[in-house]
Amino acid sequence: MAKFPTTVEESVTVGAPMENVYAFLWDVVGSSRCIPGIDHCRSVGADTFEFLYKPRSTGPITMVVRYTARYQGNGRDNIRFVGVSAAEDNTDVEGTLALKPKGPGTTVTLTQTLAPDTPVPRLLQSLIRSFVEAETAQAMRDYLLNVRSTIEKA
């Protein structure tokens, strides 16, 4: 299997105080509904969560991303997550959600590195690499927009 580590950073400003945004994001299972393509997220231990995505395809390649991550937060403005390599996982993940006040709102910056195992022959690796990179960047943008929309509607 080939892994294609992709690091992406995206930001969005949410019209809510930092305390509210932090509380929403710290509820990992609840806020996971904002993740595009998620099938489910569930708690599997103390501050540790399993993420399973719906199948994604490009050409003849179909993949299902699965990872387990442990979350660490400081209670104010930073949440870090890192993959713990559970038995069924096929993706490495790590990242940070950083919050900063911006006027009456909060800027949320998500920095994430994702490295899924991809069942592709060498000939198709360049095709799948661009697919993984584009999918990761778009999913992060959509996730942050969904977070903003959900919090601002509350």
Beta bridge partners of 74: none
Express each pLDDT in 49-62 by its tens digit: 999 999 887 666 67
pTM of the model: 0.90
Which tens digits make up the pLDDT trace of 82-130? 999 899 999 999 999 999 999 999 999 999 998 888 766 666 666 667 7
**Sequence-separated (6 or more) residues with CB below 8 Å from residue 134:** none
pLDDT at site 121 = 65
Average pLDDT along the chain: 90
> pLDDT band for position 1 (50/70/90)?
low
Domain ranges of the chain: 2-153
Query: Distance (Å, rounded) from C-alpha 96 to C-alpha 110?
Result: 6
Q: For domain 2-153, give the CATH superfamily.
A: START domain (3.30.530.20)
Distance CA 88, CA 106 (A): 36
